[in-house]
Structure 1
Amino acid sequence: MEDFRELLDDCVHCGFCLPTCPTYQLWGEEMDSPRGRIHLMSQHEQGAPLSGPMIEHFDRCLGCMACVTACPSGVKYDRLIEVTRAKVEDERPRGRTDRLLREAIFAFFPYPKRLRLLRGPLRAYQASKINMSPLLNRISPTLAAMERLAPPRASHVRLPERVAARGERRAVVGMLTGCVQREFFPGVNAATARVLAMEGCDVVIPKGQGCCGALSLHSGRAAEARAFAKKTIETFADVDVVVVNAAGCGSAMKDYGDVLADEPEWAERAREFSAKTRDLTEYLAELGPRATRHPLEITVAYHDACHLAHAQGIRVQPRALLAGIPGLVIREIADPEICCGSAGVYNLLQPEAAGELGDRKAANVSATGADLLVAANPGCSLQIATALRRRGEEIAVAHTAEVLDASIRGIGKEQLSPRR
């Protein structure tokens, strides 16, 4: 792993990051900008203790990596904030309430089977149409945020362990099903498997797969992230390509080489695994289209998920795939580099800031006049849809895989219904 102090020294404090940093845009506070946080990191490296205000500035960072894209000096802020958050968790015990909330979040979200247990109560609650937000807000803003962002009702989809290619086989790929994606957006996984198969891929979907560790990695839970990474590497050991349809997951998996760099028995395997990880749109662009696209007369607003656009540098491929659908029109969203406020579990732990960012993004989405919002991350979809509802608006939301699936199968735009 690179020397932390050398990474800090790469920052020349030029300020190119400021216009793209969501929290700096919200508050105009230097210590809530990337270069300000790097200054705080340097102070800590020089012996300053982790004070409460210092930790608050680190916690307020979304980890959106817009600053990485903007930086002319190539500062690896993504590595800096990950290491710093791990130090915070190791060196400064959190207060009882904060600790319990974080433990509750991480006791469920990275574990699909546990998330599945929430499906029944969630369906009953949503069917009751009881508004618990005022009460929950008094108890905890985090609990109120969980209620507002509760995923839509969805029927469970059981995917086979292997989906055969249609026509002549072009490749064999592994597919990550994820945690929130698997349990609350199963239609995205089903569409992903179908699209890959219709494009000539045998799709291997290991039954025993679990969390990739993205939420843990981005929240400073380093040991937990390493354990999830090792299991994921072992799970997909027998495939040459691993396709991912959630931006945050793909970003974390491409970072395994750094995550496990200090463990000699895992370092090389981790680097090889990262090299074979592909976002769905990235892989489809590499593979090239074979299946016929049927017309979809629809206008879509494409949202750049931060961990796809900034962390993975994938912007052109999803737009090109959507543009290849006859009849489909893409409308760009203003200020695409500014995060929607989802950022893993940020919208649960920092609900006020996340809400402001969500409202800004929702206003920009609404201004496009599009029929459909397309996003590559389940958290983004939930965050923006929730913000639009606060405006009294509703829009259909879909993953790129679902739009491609609808076009290739010729089932029409009616299948791309709003997620409530």
Structure 2
Amino acid sequence: MTAPKDPAAARRPGAPDDSELPKLISDCVHCGFCLPTCPTYVLWGEEMDSPRGRIHLMQQHVEGTPLSEPMVEHFDRCLGCMACVTSCPSGVKYDRLIEMTRAEVEREHRRPISERLLREAVFRLFPYPRRLRALRGPLRAYQRTGLRRFAQRSGLLGLLERVSPTLAAMERLAPPLGKAQPRLPERVAARGTRRATVGMLTGCVQREFFPDVNAATARVLALEGCDVVIPRGQGCCGALSLHSGREEEARAFARRTVEAFEDVDVIVVNAAGCGSAMKEYVHLLADDPAWAERAKALSAKTRDLAEYLVELGPRAERHPLPVTVAYHDACHLSHAQGVRAQPRALLAGIPELTVREIADPDICCGSAGTYNLFQPEAAAELGDRKAAGVRATEAELLVAANPGCAMQISGALARQGVRLPVAHTAEILDASLRGLDRSFLLDRASEPLPPPESHV
């Protein structure tokens, strides 16, 4: 029998004590309450693709079983959606368990070279806004000149799907890109009497692919009486790295983010995954003496946009916006941060706007950071389920508070031949506060639909 691993064997400076893992594992009583909330268990009914089953595999590894390909595959198939955390009667911290396990996988398991190269390409691109910005021009030309439609009709995308499902997923998920927008100023002044000064995270994908969301966020905060500080020195918050087990990379991003926002009392975040990651800095840098207290302070002052606006209370006039919307719960907002009622309260405060609920709101849409890139088949199944739920509401507009969710559900709807505009909560509020016509939101659906894709 293999001897149990020594928790202190390879302790790295600033890294968490590995003895935490067996302590957290012991909290699970294997009751099964998590099973109906787990997206992969719902899809396949496979015990090892449930939180309970994965915790059993974690226990095996702690007791000395080496990480095998099948074991790693079960961990990779987890979306990290945290639905199991909110459904667990024993308070099992599965979020912490899966992040620690993924870090262990990255340290100990050697993936095939093709997989390593693809992962490295993804993590060398998406957390870097300047690199994404450089990609915008060629990608927009590909979308606007007919090259994309040619690639779809000629079968080139089908070939790409066979050669690299990850690259094919990246092509499918890319949102329609408009002209590049000017960068937001470093400070946006409050309208009327200033009520607060807040920092604003601009993000990576949000900043480069959804700049209108950031512009709307800054306007809404200003209209509600906030001076908005947008530090030039900010970059990626580290969410993608943190949730993928790339600990040291995540810590480097976290330290830079802490430095950028130390001079503000509140940090407002409009992307669910980013807000969740920043609230976790308190754990990520807990064992780094130089950064622990600074990280703890940042986590304590991080707020999701909807969370903060409800705390602040409304001041600006809401103008009528006669539109029916379906609200989608992003997992890292509802499960990881516990922010569910606040977005609905903000939407309910808009005259003539109707909110419809989507069936099975706790089941992930399949985006989950990089999940829809590295697990495209499972992600597509979940996306199709979510798109069907959205369609059943017969809403005119989908509201989602995370860029990954917006891309994932839009792609699934397009596969089903449905043209439905998607907007962020900030954009809905912005339209109401500025008294814009409903067509401002609904005209987003004017982009031509791609032809249906047969591979999904």
Question: Shorter-chain TM-score category?
Answer: over 0.9
Equivalent-residue separation in structure 1 for 2:169 and 2:392 (angstroms):
25
What is the aligned partner in structure 2 of residue 277 from structure 1? 302
Does 2:23 match 1:6?
Answer: yes
**Relative to structure 2, which stretch is displaced further, 381-390 or 133-142?**
133-142
Equivalent-residue separation in structure 2 for 1:229 and 1:415 (angstroms):
36
What is the aligned partner in structure 2 of residue 243 from structure 1? 268
Equivalent-residue separation in structure 2 for 1:214 and 1:103 (angstroms):
16
TM-score of the superposed pair, with normalisation by structure 1: 0.99
Find 2:129's aligned residue among 112, 132, 137. Answer: 112
Equivalent-residue separation in structure 1 for 2:432 and 2:198 (angstroms):
22
What is the aligned partner in structure 1 of residue 45 from structure 2? 28
SS at match of 1:330: strand
Find 2:436's aligned residue among 400, 411, 415. Answer: 411
Find 2:204's aligned residue among 172, 179, 189. Answer: 179
SS at match of 1:121: helix
The aligned amino acid for 2:280 is D
SS at match of 1:418: helix
Equivalent-residue separation in structure 2 for 1:27 and 1:38 (angstroms):
18
Does 2:339 match 1:314?
Answer: yes
Conservation of the 8 A alpha-carbon contact between 1:154 and 1:185: no
The aligned amino acid for 1:82 is E
SS at match of 2:197: strand
CA deviation digits over 1:27-81, x for unaligned, max 9? Answer: 1000000010000000000000000000000000000000001001110000000
Equivalence map 1:195-274=2 (5 Å): 195-274=220-299
What is the aligned partner in structure 2 of residue 124 from structure 1? 141
What is the aligned partner in structure 2 of residue 289 from structure 1? 314
**Relative to structure 2, which stretch is displaced further, 409-418 or 251-260?**
409-418
Shift of 1:264: 1.3
SS at match of 1:172: strand
Shift of 1:268: 1.1
SS at match of 1:11: coil
The aligned amino acid for 1:215 is L
Shift of 1:154: 2.6
| Structure 1 portions without partners, runs of 5+ | none
Does 2:64 match 1:47?
Answer: yes
Equivalent-residue separation in structure 2 for 1:352 and 1:308 (angstroms):
24
SS at match of 1:39: helix
Shift of 1:151: 2.0
Find 2:167's aligned residue among 143, 149, 152. Answer: 143
SS at match of 1:207: coil
What is the aligned partner in structure 1 of residue 88 from structure 2? 71
Equivalent-residue separation in structure 2 for 1:418 and 1:171 (angstroms):
32
SS at match of 1:118: helix
Shift of 1:133: 2.0
Shift of 1:336: 0.1
Does 2:407 match 1:390?
Answer: no
Equivalent-residue separation in structure 1 for 2:27 and 2:419 (angstroms):
44
Equivalent-residue separation in structure 2 for 1:312 and 1:187 (angstroms):
24
Conservation of the 8 A alpha-carbon contact between 1:85 and 1:219: yes
Shift of 1:411: 1.0
Conservation of the 8 A alpha-carbon contact between 1:133 and 1:148: no
Shift of 1:155: 2.7
Shift of 1:156: 2.5
TM-score of the superposed pair, with normalisation by structure 2: 0.91
What is the aligned partner in structure 1 of residue 158 from structure 2? 134
CA deviation digits over 1:226-248, x for unaligned, max 9? Answer: 00000000000100000000000
What is the aligned partner in structure 1 of residue 12 from structure 2? none
The aligned amino acid for 1:145 is A
Does 2:389 match 1:372?
Answer: no
What is the aligned partner in structure 2 of residue 57 from structure 1? 74
What is the aligned partner in structure 2 of residue 189 from structure 1? 214
The aligned amino acid for 1:55 is V
Shift of 1:413: 1.5
The aligned amino acid for 1:387 is A
Shift of 1:4: 1.4
Shift of 1:207: 1.0
CA deviation digits over 1:226-281, x for unaligned, max 9? Answer: 00000000000100000000000000000000000111111111111100000000
Does 2:359 match 1:342?
Answer: no
The aligned amino acid for 2:349 is G
Equivalent-residue separation in structure 1 for 2:292 and 2:137 (angstroms):
41
What is the aligned partner in structure 1 of residue 452 from structure 2? none
The aligned amino acid for 1:39 is H
CA deviation digits over 1:133-162, x for unaligned, max 9? Answer: 212112111111111101221332310000
Measured on the aligned residues, the alpha-carbon RMSD in Å equals 0.9
Find 1:19's aligned residue among 23, 27, 36. Answer: 36
Identical-pair percentage: 75
**Relative to structure 2, which stretch is displaced further, 189-198 or 115-124?**
115-124
SS at match of 2:326: strand
What is the aligned partner in structure 2 of residue 400 from structure 1? 425
**Over 2 Å off, 4+ runs:** 154-157, 417-420
The aligned amino acid for 1:325 is I
Equivalent-residue separation in structure 2 for 1:29 and 1:261 (angstroms):
35
Equivalent-residue separation in structure 2 for 1:237 and 1:154 (angstroms):
34
SS at match of 2:228: strand
Equivalent-residue separation in structure 2 for 1:208 and 1:256 (angstroms):
18
What is the aligned partner in structure 2 of residue 156 from structure 1? 180
Equivalent-residue separation in structure 2 for 1:100 and 1:312 (angstroms):
33
What is the aligned partner in structure 1 of residue 192 from structure 2? 167
Equivalent-residue separation in structure 1 for 2:83 and 2:356 (angstroms):
21
CA deviation digits over 1:206-233, x for unaligned, max 9? Answer: 1121000000000010000000000000
Computing the radius of gyration from Cα coordinates, the structure with the larger value is 2
